Amino acid sequence: MATVLAIETSCDETSVALVEERRVLAQTTASQVRDHAIYGGVVPEVASRRHLETLNPTLAVVLEAAGRPWSAIDAVAATCAPGLVGALWMGLTCAKTLALVHRKPLIGVHHLEGHVCAAYLTEQDLAPPFLCLLVSGGHTSLIGVEALGQYQILGQTRDDAAGEAYDKVARLLGLGYPGGPVLDRLAQQGNPQAFPLPEGQISLSGGGYHPYDMSFSGLKTAVLRLVQRLTSQGDLPIADLAASFQATVIQALSRRALACAQDHGYSTIVVGGGVAANRGLRHHLQSEGARRGLRVIFPPLAYCTDNAAMIGCAAAGRLALGQTSALTLEAQSRLPLTAADQLYV
């Protein structure tokens, strides 16, 4: 079984893990939430500097916790795309250096492929084909997974990602950053039917609507106008607003994921990304999936947000296929998931 040292620095989490195929031997993640909260969002230059400061201590903690010598490590992996390019370079450069010094293969990993593989870490029997609902701060997609590296984008957001919409609405309500966890918590206390909000739909040129594509910018604007009206009246029921907003997002995601799975013959839906930690989404999609005879898998919360364990799992799969990356591999801020095979020689 291949053992991979993996590094994830695509945004504002410095994460290092040692993974043996689908088993996590050790993982440590250094969060930068407090560093960026004062700005209301991630500042790329700040993120890069924090990665530089925390990578070595994080590596040391993981290697000590795992108790594995370098002779027992088969490869070094790092996220190389997509993400904040400066942040990506921090982790990729560290991985290249370790690979050179210890004479190990380098494996560059597509960040979204990591999220697709996150469920493997606790679901040992999981195997393609399945549908992946990938929903995070920067990405919202429905992906048909036929095998590692074989992906078909069946649906996606045309504007804001779901997690981005959460952060923007939280800012409107004065809830700070990151907004997702706070909105999810408040939604449990509010009435989801208090305020009817629009579920964005994508029109087709021949009439009707796209069955799987999504839009969240209109929902965000509707919340803005509602907040302005309620504020002028001196009443801002934040819990009800949070519950109504969350119910609309959950309905949009669940309706499309369930329809897509059934239309394409998938019996399993795997959910990945930071929004997969949302309690409302987890409850609704699992209950609706069970009602339709579909298996719906959510990773544990630790593997929903950005983490190195999922990167190591994806890298171990690539190594098993005999795929490694050149030491000339570059970080890329954008790269479609369907082009992930380009990362290997």
**In whole angstroms, how far apart are CA 189 and each of 51, 99, 186, 238, 246?**
37, 50, 5, 10, 12
- pLDDT at site 9: 98
- Please choose, from the candidates 108, 89, 81, 127, the residue with its C-alpha nearest in 3D space to the C-alpha of residue 4: 108
What class is the 3-117+304-343 domain?
alpha beta
Percentage of residues in the chain having pLDDT higher than 70: 100
- pLDDT at site 1: 82
- For CATH 3.30.420.40, the residue range(s) in the chain are 3-117+304-343, 128-298
**Which whole number is the average pLDDT over 314-327?**
98
**Using an 8 Å Cβ cutoff, are 87 and 49 in contact?**
no
- pLDDT at site 37: 85
- pLDDT at site 38: 85
Banded model confidence at residue 34, pLDDT cuts 50, 70, 90? confident
Rounded to an integer, what distance in angstroms lies between the CA atom of residue 185 and that of residue 134? 21
Architecture of domain 128-298: 2-Layer Sandwich (3.30)
Give residue-wise pLDDT tens across range 206-243.
899 999 999 999 999 999 999 999 999 888 999 999 99
- pLDDT at site 49: 96
- Please choose, from the candidates 108, 145, 172, 86, the residue with its C-alpha nearest in 3D space to the C-alpha of residue 272: 145
**Which whole number is the average pLDDT over 95-101?**
98
Give residue-wise pLDDT tens across range 270-304.
999 999 999 999 999 999 999 999 999 999 999 99
**Using an 8 Å Cβ cutoff, are 13 and 306 in contact?**
yes
Residue 177 has pLDDT above 90, yes or no: no
- pLDDT at site 151: 98
Reduced to 3 states (helix: H, G, I; strand: E, B; else coil), residue 20 is strand
